[in-house]
Structure 1
C-alpha cells in the first residue's frame, strides 16, 4: 500500500495539478515576454488595484493564476493584502469539478469568495491588521525584508524605493543562467526540458478529461487507454520535474525559480521559466499529496464524512479542510458536494479558505507569511460559512444538500 500511494501521488500530482499550473504560468510569462515586462511594471505602479487583480487571478480555475502572484510578493511588486486576496479567491482544481457538475453552486460560491477576497485584501492593506508583526517575524528567520505588507526585492535591488536590500533569496545563488557546464548533462537537460513540455501537453488533455468525468478514481495501469496514459504521462512528468528542479536548472538555468522575472530575452527562455516554476511547484505538490494520503490511509479517515458533520460543524469542517495546502482534499470535498454529501455552506467555506497549490512557493521562501496568510483566509471562511448556515441557508434554501448540482 505504501508503494501504491507513492506512485499514485507521483502520477496524480502532475496530471491533476502541474499541467494546469504550467499553462497559466506560461500564459503570464508570454505576456511578460511580448510586453517586455510592462505588465508587472504597471501592476507595481498601480497599488490601489493590486488586491482586485490578485482576487481576479485567484478566481481563475486551477491554481496557476494564484501561483503567478506569490513570487511578485517576494519580489516586492505586490502587497501582503494582495497575497491574501489572491489566496481567498483561489478556486483551485476543485473548481473544475464544481463547474462541471454544479455550475449554479459554483457561481454563488466563487462570487462570495471573490467578494470576501477583495474586502479582506483592501482591509489588510488599509489597516495593517498584523502585517507589521509578520514583517518582524519573517525578518528574523530569513533575509526577506518587508514593510507595511510589501516585500522588499530579493534580486539585488529594492522594488520599493524606501527599502534597501543586498541579500540573496535563500537557496538561490545565481540569477537565471546556467552555473555549470557539461558535455553530457547540458544537452540532456535541454532534452529533458523538451520532453517535459510534451508530457505537459498530454497531461493537460488527460487532466481536462479527468475533471470532465467528475474526478473519478483512476486505476494504476499501463497502456494506451485513458488510465494507462494517465499513469504514463503523470509519472513521466513528475520524474522530469524532479530532474529539472534538482539537476537541470544548473545546466540550462534555473529560470528564477520562485521569483518573478522582469521579462524574457527569448521565447525559449519564456517556456523554460514556466517549466522551472512548475517543476518547483510539482516537488511541493508531491510532498503535500504524500503528507495527506498517508495519514488518510493509515488512520482510515473519511474526509468527506468529517466535513459533512451535522449542523454548524459542516461549514467549520469545510473551512478547516481548506487549511491543508494543495488541491487533493479540496477535490475530495468538491466531489462529495456534487454527490449530495455536504451542504452548500461547507462548499462556500472551503472555497474561501482553500489556498490550493499557490501556497507552496510562499511556504518555500516566506514561511511565516504563508502561515499568517492561511489564518487570514480561514477567518472570512468561518464567518461566511457559519452565516450561511444560520441566516441565509434556511431562508434561501442554499443550505440544502445538492443545491445547483446538475440533475439534483
Structure 2
C-alpha cells in the first residue's frame, strides 16, 4: 500500500510540473494570437488555395488540437479542400505532443517531423488525384446510413475541393449558460487565479528540471527544489481537477477540446488556456497511473510484450490513432516515455491520430470524418511498419533520463 500511495503522489506531482506547465504556455500563446488578430490569421489561410495543405499541416503540427480544430469549420464552409483536412489531421500532434515534448523531446522532433512530411504529401496527392476517395466514400455510405452531403468527396470529383454548408453553427464554440453561485463562482475565480500562479511556478521548475537532465526528484516538502517541485505539482493538479470538473461551469468556458476562433479579451484567453490544460492534466494523470499500477499490480512487462509484438506494435499504434479524442493518445505517449513501446509505434500513432479535431467534422459531416480517418490511417501503417523494418523498434529513443 505504501508503494501504491507513493506512485499516486509522484504521478500527481510529475504530471503537472513535467507536462501541464508546458501545455499552459503553448495553449495561452495560441489563444492570445487569435485574440490579437481577431481571427484574421485563420481567414488569410483560407485565401491561399495552393498553400492550403501546407498550411493545414502546419496548423495541425501545433501541440494540442487547437490548430487542427480551427481548420475543420473552414472545410465545412467550403473554403479549404478535403486534402487540406487530411493533411491537417495527419499532422495533428494532439495533446499527447505535450507529453512527448516534455519527456522525450528528441523523439517528438523526429516523430512529428515525419508526420508533417507525410501530411503534406498526402494532402497534395488527394487534392490532385483523389486516390480513390470516391470509392472509400461509397463504402462508408453503405455502413453509415445517416443523411449527409459527404463533402466534396461525394460529388463524383474527389479532387474538386470544398463544398458549401449553409449553417456552420454546429462548429462554433458554445460555452453554454454560465452558472452563478454565491459560493462556487468566487471560489472558481480564485482557483483560476491560483492555478496560473502554480502554472508559472511549475514552468520555472520544469525548465530547471529539464536543464538538469531530468534527474530523480524525491518526494519531500520544504524550501528545497524537491520540496517546491512536490508542493507546486500537487497544488496544480488539485486545482486542475477542480477547474475541469467544477470550475469551468462557473468561468464561462464550459466546453473543452473546442478551439475558439477569437476571444473578447485576454481574460477569456486565460480561462480557455486553463480549461484546456486542466483537461490534459486529468488525462496525463490517468496515463501515468494506468501504466505504473498496471506494472506493479499485474506484474506485466509491457516492454517485453511490445518487443515480442514485432511489426504488430506500429500497427497497433496506428489503430489506436483511429480513436477520436486525445485520451488514448496521451496514454500511449506516456507508455512510450516509460520505454515500453517502440518509436515506430509512436510515429504511426502520431500520423494516424486525429485528436479532438475530428469532433467538429463528425458533428456536421460524419461520412467525410470517417473517410478522413481512413486516409490518415493508411500512411500511418506504411510509415510505421517501414520504420520498424528499416531501423528496428528503437525502444526509449529520445527519452530523457
Q: TM-score, with normalisation over the residues of structure 2?
A: 0.71
Q: Work out the number of aligned pairs and report it.
A: 371
Relative to structure 2, which stretch is displaced further, 38-47 or 87-96?
87-96
Q: Distance between the aligned counterparts of 1:310 and 1:167, measured in 2?
A: 42
Shift of the 314–203 alpha-carbon distance from structure 1 to 2, 3 Å rule, reads same
User: What's 1:280 paired with?
Assistant: 279
Q: Distance between the aligned counterparts of 2:33 and 2:392, measured in 1?
A: 42
Q: Select 1:17's aligned residue among 19, 24, 30.
A: 19
Relative to structure 2, which stretch is displaced further, 22-31 or 364-373?
364-373
Deviations 1:291-316 (A, max 9, x none): 44443433223333333348656655
Q: Are the aligned partners of 1:52 and 1:118 in contact in 2 as well (CA < 8 Å)?
A: yes
Q: Are the aligned partners of 2:34 and 2:41 in contact in 1 as well (CA < 8 Å)?
A: yes
Q: Distance between the aligned counterparts of 1:9 and 1:223, measured in 2?
A: 19
**SS of the residue aligned with 1:297?**
helix
Shift of the 115–237 alpha-carbon distance from structure 1 to 2, 3 Å rule, reads same
Deviations 1:170-201 (A, max 9, x none): 9x662xxx623333332222221111111111
User: What's 2:346 paired with?
Assistant: 350
User: What's 2:167 paired with?
Assistant: 164
Q: Distance between the aligned counterparts of 2:72 and 2:374, measured in 1?
A: 18
Q: Distance between the aligned counterparts of 2:22 and 2:319, measured in 1?
A: 25
**SS of the residue aligned with 1:308?**
helix
Q: Distance between the aligned counterparts of 2:200 and 2:393, measured in 1?
A: 39
Shift of the 50–256 alpha-carbon distance from structure 1 to 2, 3 Å rule, reads farther
Q: Are the aligned partners of 2:18 and 2:206 in contact in 1 as well (CA < 8 Å)?
A: yes
1:325 aligns with 2:321: no
Q: Distance between the aligned counterparts of 1:83 and 1:355, measured in 2?
A: 10
Q: Are the aligned partners of 1:330 and 1:354 in contact in 2 as well (CA < 8 Å)?
A: no
**SS of the residue aligned with 2:181?**
coil
User: Larger relative contact order (C-alpha < 8 A, sep ≥ 6)?
Assistant: 2
User: What's 2:89 paired with?
Assistant: 84
1:33 shift after superposition: 1.2
**SS of the residue aligned with 2:328?**
coil
Q: Are the aligned partners of 2:344 and 2:388 in contact in 1 as well (CA < 8 Å)?
A: no
1:162 shift after superposition: 2.4
Superposed CA RMSD in Å reads 4.6
Q: Select 1:117's aligned residue among 94, 116, 119.
A: 119
Q: Distance between the aligned counterparts of 1:25 and 1:36, measured in 2?
A: 16
Shift of the 402–297 alpha-carbon distance from structure 1 to 2, 3 Å rule, reads closer
**Structure 2 spans left out of the alignment, 5+ residues:** 154-161
1:265 shift after superposition: 1.9
1:236 shift after superposition: 1.9
Shift of the 288–112 alpha-carbon distance from structure 1 to 2, 3 Å rule, reads same
Q: Distance between the aligned counterparts of 1:217 and 1:138, measured in 2?
A: 51
Q: Distance between the aligned counterparts of 2:32 and 2:353, measured in 1?
A: 21
Shift of the 299–133 alpha-carbon distance from structure 1 to 2, 3 Å rule, reads farther
Q: Distance between the aligned counterparts of 2:301 and 2:73, measured in 1?
A: 37
1:263 aligns with 2:268: no
Q: Distance between the aligned counterparts of 1:132 and 1:216, measured in 2?
A: 54
